[in-house]
Amino acid sequence: MRAVVSFDVEMDAPPYLNSWRGIDEGLPKILEVLRDYRVRATFFTIGMLASVRPKAVYSIVEEGHELACHGYDHRRLDKMPLREAANNVRACLKALREFSEVESFRAPNLKLPPPLLHVLREEGVRVDSSVAWYKPPFRLRPSVEAGVLRVPASYPSSALRLPWRLLKALFPRGREYVILAHPWEYVELVAHPRPDLTLGVGKSVEENSRRLIAHLKALGYELVPIRDYMTSG
């Protein structure tokens, strides 16, 4: 059985905050967890990070993780004209490919206009994770569309904020998982009118990440980057 550990690397809780504490403080914690458990993960990264925090992008690549595309600036691709959305994706790929090859993609908010699948294929993207079990159209299994393998995320990132007993119950042996998290969830964010943005973030997310990785390994799971999903197992 396989599982993927993935992170959407972006500014803090977009579009509600505009700080970068997740990158500056949360990302190093994530890399330490992965290093301790010898896990290679996938980091779906916004392209603008290449200019505002290039050392953060380098740190992902230098640790041997997969660098993947998350749009240039985390604007919703389904909320802009198709040509603009396609250019946004291309700009992200161009920026990130200065650091590493990029073969995987996840749209902001998991909202990918279907015509962009053809753009992804033309740009050399083989894997898309812009679908999920928990979000319409509720994809439960990988499928190939327009020549791109679409691998669904399993649970929203807020699952990592649950008490460990509840979180563990979500991950029995027998299914393949794509875990989704954000670096900003690994730090204590400032208070915000939307409690779902700050409730349970910080140290407990880091601890649950460690517990979950150890749990999956104990169950015999192989933890792989999402680009290796087709060739492992």
Name the token pair of 13: 């809780």
Does residue 150 lie in a domain region? yes
Total of domains in the chain = 1
Confidence (pLDDT) at 199: 83
Interval 9-26 mean pLDDT: 93
Does residue 233 lie in a domain region? no
The whole domain housing 212 covers 2-228
Q: What are 110-154's pLDDT values in tens digits?
A: 999 999 999 999 999 999 999 999 999 999 999 999 999 999 999
Q: What are 21-35's pLDDT values in tens digits?
A: 999 999 999 999 999
Q: How far is residue 197's CA from residue 90's CA, in Å, rounded to a whole number?
A: 29
**pLDDT higher than threshold 90 for residue 16:** no
Q: How far is residue 223's CA from residue 216's CA, in Å, rounded to a whole number?
A: 8
Q: Name every residue whose Cβ is closer than 8 Å to that of residue 93 and which is 6 or more positions away in sequence.
A: 47, 69, 102, 123, 124, 125
In CATH, what number is assigned to the domain containing residue 42?
Answer: 3.20.20.370
Contact 52, 20 (CB under 8 A): yes
SS3 label, residue 7: strand
Q: What are 48-69's pLDDT values in tens digits?
A: 999 999 999 999 999 999 999 9
Does residue 208 lie in a domain region? yes
Q: How far is residue 3's CA from residue 164's CA, in Å, rounded to a whole number?
A: 18
